[in-house]
Amino acid sequence: MTARKISRSHEENHWIVSGRIQNVGYRARVVSIAKEFVVVGSVQNLADGRVRIIAECEEEVSERFLDAIRIKNTLINVHNVLVEYSDATGDYAAFYKLVGEGETGERLDKASEYLEDMIVIMKTGFGEMKEEMKTGFEMLGSKEDQTIEEI
């Protein structure tokens, strides 16, 4: 890893993020956001379910980056971010997702569980929707017959 030259306006942010953030693509999203903001550092899962982010960037970028990683969507829900600031060290050349031993297999298992759940929901949901549509079209057909008889 090549250290980079930093200006005095750079700071190193140490953030501990909590919420529904593991096994939902949060770290990958943080890496993408870091690239957009030209931030260097790392993101990694912690054993207690939280995520640690170390981010070196210009001071004026820091708050915008922090706001951007407070993601709330269907899968990811950041509840809280503990914040610490210090002077940047220049130790990072890019932004890295740190992966622990066994994480890839664990993520594949979780993905297969999500896929199975989605398939069940789709089959059940579409089956119910099919019956509702059939009933609706039958009712529409009988209303259409009544209207034709009235004309």
Residue 33 CA to residue 29 CA, distance in Å, equals: 6
CB of 75 within 8 A of CB of 24? yes
Catalytic residue (one of 13, 23, 29, 45): 45
pTM of the model: 0.65
pLDDT at 6: 42
Token reading at 85: 């600031």
Which residues are paired to 86 by β-bridges?
12
CA nearest neighbour of 66 among 37, 100, 25, 94: 37
The pLDDT profile of the chain, 151 residues, written as one tens digit per residue, is 444 444 446 788 999 999 999 988 899 999 999 999 999 999 999 999 999 999 999 888 999 999 999 999 888 999 999 998 887 788 889 999 988 876 765 666 677 777 777 877 777 776 666 777 777 777 777 766 666 666 6
- Active-site residue, 13 included: no
pLDDT at 139: 76
Which H/E stretch holds residue 114? helix 103-150
Helical ranges in 38-102 per DSSP H: 59-68
Per DSSP, the chain holds a count of helices (H) and strands (E) of: 3, 5
Q: What are 83-97's pLDDT values in tens digits?
A: 988 877 888 899 999
Catalytic residue (one of 27, 29, 70, 73): 27
- Active-site residue, 45 included: yes
Sheet holding 95-98, edge to edge: 77-87, 10-20, 51-58, 40-45, 95-98
Helical ranges in 1-102 per DSSP H: 26-37, 59-68
